[in-house]
């Protein structure tokens, strides 16, 4: 397992639509292992493959902030049903470092996906997990949580991140 570099906004790569995985093989499992390691190190509770520069429909999530890890792996996730009820969480994103905003999303979602072994699974998620799944699935479409904010707020954040990036690049030799 190795830690991969997380791309940050503004990076045009994050705006790509990710491709379906045709087969869950060892290459995909290695990707998932690396993503999990990268996510734990960050630290974060969810990561999509596009965030480490791989445009494939792969997501890892672990909501347990304890010693005992409970990783979840989702390949080619599809939402079948979303609830009408909305819940609001303050969201952040490893690709939008240091920025947080309250985002409204359906409070439940029913999804199908392939697991770590390529087995077809179904899951009815609610609460934080439902929000996290939807946030990560947005990444697969090239969508970031800041896209739900007003143009003014979003531009402010993107400008700030661009400036931070320039400073970082300047000191990298
Ligand atoms: Ni994110």
DSSP string, 64-106: --SSS---EEEEEEEEEEE-S-EEEEEE--TTSTT--EEEEEE
Summarize pLDDT for 93-141 with one digit per residue, the tens: 999 999 999 999 999 999 999 999 999 999 999 999 999 999 999 999 9
CA distances to 22, 43, 112 from 25, in Å: 9, 26, 19
pTM (predicted TM-score): 0.94
Query: Of the ranges 16-30, 66-80, 103-117, which one carries the lowest mean pLDDT score?
Result: 66-80
CA-CA distance, 58 to 50, in Å (whole number)? 8
Beta bridge partners of 119: none
User: Is 90 designated active site?
Assistant: no
Closest CA to 46 of 121, 117, 154, 145: 145
Q: How big is the chain by its Cα radius of gyration, in Å?
A: 16
| Ligand 1 centroid from CA 138, angstroms | 8
| Ligand 1 centroid from CA 149, angstroms | 15
| Ligand 1 centroid from CA 144, angstroms | 7
Q: Which of 9, 30, 66, 136 is catalytic?
A: 136
| Ligand 1 centroid from CA 84, angstroms | 23
């Amino acid at each position: 397992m190795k830690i991969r570099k997380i791309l940050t906004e503004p990076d045009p790569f994050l705006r790509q639509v990710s491709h379906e995985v045709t087969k869950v093989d060892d290459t995909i499992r290695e990707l998932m292992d690396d993503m999990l390691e990268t996510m734990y190190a960050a630290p974060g509770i969810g990561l999509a493959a596009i965030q480490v520069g791989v445009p494939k429909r792969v997501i890892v999530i672990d909501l347990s902030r304890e010693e005992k890890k409970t990783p979840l792996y989702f390949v080619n996730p599809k939402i079948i049903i979303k609830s009408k009820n909305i819940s609001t969480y303050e969201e952040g994103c490893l690709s939008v470092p240091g920025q947080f905003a309250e985002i409204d999303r359906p409070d439940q979602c029913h999804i199908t996906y392939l697991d770590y072994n390529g087995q077809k699974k179904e899951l009815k998620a609610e609460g934080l997990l439902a929000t996290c799944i939807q946030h990560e699935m947005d990444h697969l479409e090239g969508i970031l949580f800041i896209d739900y904010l007003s143009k003014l707020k979003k531009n402010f954040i993107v400008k700030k991140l661009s400036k931070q990036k320039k400073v970082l690049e300047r000191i990298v030799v």
